[in-house]
């Protein structure tokens, strides 16, 4: 048995293992990308199988074309799976065009001298282009994590491998005919390098799929489905990390807590579906205000703490910045006709603002912000109150309705 046959047998087993692995991932995570990758390695199994039986064929032309087509489709399916995993639209037209042109080209060059560099480039070139399409998908995703960069490198190495094969074939000789190929040194080297890239790509894609599946599951457990914001658990987890970083760097952090006014009466009068609309509308207002940069810095953590209570934790923001953010949210939300059944009714919310003190934890920060929120509720609602600062300051002005009435928080 030649070295190439031995490597092909290994490739067959490895491809079969990856088919099984990706199918299992598809079943347990329902990832569409895993199905395409299983299909890709399934086409790889067909490719290797045809390679193994090619030496026994009297007329190898059709088998040679089948080998080429199977491997080309395997790479095309892999590109689709990669795009699906990165939540991108696959480059369908490029893939279809490349497959069509490549199949026409292989029919035209299959009978050329196997030692011809032109034939080698025509045969291996489409494979290299498929690798470049894989690189393009990774680059379009914008992901720059270690695993994604390593995948980019593997695709680049794959492209270089296919571009270098024609020159290696000319140097070592690919065999006088298709049947003789499998016994050549060129075949042994080509299949060995292919096996390394096959295994590296398969393992890496499995790890990336599992990583992304875990991220998705974590996001689902941390996200409130109605508002699209973090739930209490997610908010607290992210907030603790942010506060720990702020303590190390000395960056100021402020929090805004909000509670919808008379929310129970909205549910009682219009029904819970309308109450859900009000919650969703307030969440969108909160997110829009954060995206507009009202906090002056990015990285604000937004959450629905439960019921009609919300919170926004902003790094790099002092009391004044957080107060301005709360005022922006208050004005925008109060101006929107949220309830279709009563377009003249404008739901409102009350707000409490507090800035993190040295050595203060999230619990105490929330407690002080809640106290300020309670003050806003007690003094008329639809307003903003600020918690006491670290050092004694003049009594803060309550923003909103207080400003209109000229009152001050005692």
- pLDDT recorded at residue 340: 67
Q: What is the mean pLDDT of residues 343-357?
A: 88
φ, ψ of residue 202 to 5 degrees: the values are -65, -45
In 143-184, which residue ranges form alpha helices assigned H by DSSP? 146-172
Q: Poorest-confidence range of 176-185, 331-340, 359-368?
A: 331-340
pTM above 0.85, yes or no: no
Q: How confident is the model at residue 410 (pLDDT cuts 50, 70, 90)?
A: very low
- Annotated active-site residue in 308, 375, 388, 390: 308
Q: Report phi then psi at 396, rounded to 5.
A: -70, 150
What is the DSSP pairing of strand 309-315 with strand 253-260? Answer: antiparallel
CB-CB contact of 82 with 140 (8 Å) = no
DSSP state of 55: G
Closest CA to 289 of 261, 317, 264, 250: 317
How many CA within 13 A on the CB side of residue 362?
19
Report pLDDT for 399: 42
Q: What is the secondary structure of 302-368 as a DSSP string?
A: EEEEETTEEEEEEET--HHHHHHHHHHHHHHHHTS---TT-TT----EEEEEEEPPTT--HHHHHHH
Mean predicted confidence (pLDDT) in 343-362: 88
Q: What sign for the dihedral angle of Cα 153, 130, 207, 216?
A: positive
> How much of the chain exceeds pLDDT 90, in percent?
60
Structure tokens at 396: 């803060």
Band (295; pLDDT cuts 50, 70, 90): very low
Identify the band that residue 311 occupies on the pLDDT scale cut at 50, 70 and 90. very high
H or E element, residue 142? none
Q: Is the pLDDT of residue 400 over 90?
A: no
- φ and ψ at residue 403, rounded to 5 degrees: -60, -40
Section 175-195 average pLDDT:
88
Structure tokens at 379: 């003094």
Residue 21 has pLDDT above 90, yes or no: yes
- 39-96, pLDDT tens digit by residue? 999 999 999 999 999 888 888 889 999 999 999 999 999 999 999 999 999 999 999 9
User: Given a cut of 60, is residue 209 above it in pLDDT?
Assistant: yes
Cα 245 to chain centroid distance, Å, stands at: 24
What residues contact 79, with CB distance under 8 A and at least 6 apart?
90, 91, 95, 130, 133, 134, 137
| C-alpha span between 326 and 383 (Å, rounded) | 9
Is the Cβ–Cβ distance between 190 and 163 less than 8 Å? no
Q: Are residues 78 and 134 in contact, defined by beta-carbon separation less than 8 angstroms?
A: yes
Q: Residue 248 pLDDT more than 90? A: no
- The reported pLDDT for the residue numbered 34 is 94
- What is the rounded CA–CA span in Å between residue 22 and residue 11? 16
Beta bridge partners of 399: 384
Q: How confident is the model at residue 4 (pLDDT cuts 50, 70, 90)?
A: confident
Catalytic-residue membership of 388? no
Q: Which helix (H) or strand (E) holds 54?
A: none
How far apart CA 301 and CA 138 sit, in angstroms, is 28
Which residues contact residue 334 at a Cβ distance below 8 angstroms, ignoring those fewer than 6 apart?
A: 346, 347, 348, 382
pLDDT at 1 (0 to 100):
60
Please give the Cα distance from 148 to 133 (Å, whole number): 15
- H or E element at residue 263: helix 263-270
* Higher local confidence (pLDDT), 295 or 325: 325
Residue 300 scores a pLDDT above 90: no
Model pLDDT, residue 298 = 56
- For residue 391, pLDDT over 60 is answered with no
Do the beta carbons of residue 75 and residue 59 sit within 8 Å? Answer: no
Torsional class of 204: left (φ above 0), alpha (ψ -120 to 50), beta (otherwise): alpha
pLDDT at position 370 over 70: yes
What pLDDT score was predicted for residue 292? Answer: 63
């Amino acid at each position: 048995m030649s070295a190439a046959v031995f490597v092909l047998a290994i490739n067959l087993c490895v491809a079969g293992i990856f088919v099984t692995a990706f199918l299992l991932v598809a079943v347990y995570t329902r990832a569409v990308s895993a199905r395409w990758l299983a299909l890709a390695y399934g086409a790889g199994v067909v490719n290797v199988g045809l390679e193994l039986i090619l030496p026994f064929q009297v007329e190898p032309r059709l088998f040679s074309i089948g080998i080429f087509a199977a491997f080309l489709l395997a790479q095309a399916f892999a590109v689709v799976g990669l795009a699906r995993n990165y939540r991108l639209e696959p480059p369908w037209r490029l893939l279809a065009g490349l497959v069509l042109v490549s199949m026409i080209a292989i029919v035209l060059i299959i009978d050329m001298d196997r030692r011809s560099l032109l034939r080698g480039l025509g045969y291996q070139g489409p494979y290299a282009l498929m690798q470049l399409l894989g690189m393009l998908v990774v680059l379009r995703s914008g992901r720059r994590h270690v695993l994604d960069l390593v995948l980019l490198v593997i695709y680049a190495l794959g492209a270089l491998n296919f571009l270098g094969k024609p020159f290696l074939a000319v140097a070592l000789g690919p065999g006088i005919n298709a049947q003789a190929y499998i016994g050549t040194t060129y075949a042994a080297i080509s299949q060995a390098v292919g096996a390394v890239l096959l295994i590296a790509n398969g393992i890496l894609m499995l790890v990336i799929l599992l990583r992304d599946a875990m991220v998705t599951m974590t996001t689902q457990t941390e996200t409130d489905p109605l508002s699209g914001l973090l739930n209490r658990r997610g908010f607290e987890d992210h907030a603790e990390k942010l506060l720990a970083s702020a303590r190390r760097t000395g960056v100021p952090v402020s929090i805004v807590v909000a509670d919808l006014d008379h929310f129970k009466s909205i549910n009682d009068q219009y029904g819970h579906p309308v109450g859900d609309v009000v919650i969703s509308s307030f969440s969108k207002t909160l997110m829009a205000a954060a995206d507009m940069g009202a906090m002056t810095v990015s990285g604000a953590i937004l959450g629905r703490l439960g019921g009609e209570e919300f919170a926004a934790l902003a790094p790099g923001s002092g009391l004044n910045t957080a107060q301005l953010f709360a005022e922006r949210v208050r004005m925008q939300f109060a101006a929107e006709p949220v309830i279709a059944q009563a377009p003249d009714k404008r739901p409102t919310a009350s707000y409490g603002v507090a800035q993190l003190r040295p050595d203060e934890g999230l619990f105490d920060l929330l407690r002080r912000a809640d106290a300020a929120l309670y003050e806003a509720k007690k003094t008329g609602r639809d307003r903003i109150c600020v918690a006491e600062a670290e050092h004694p300051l003049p009594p803060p002005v309550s923003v909103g309705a207080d400003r209109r009435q000229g009152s001050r928080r005692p």
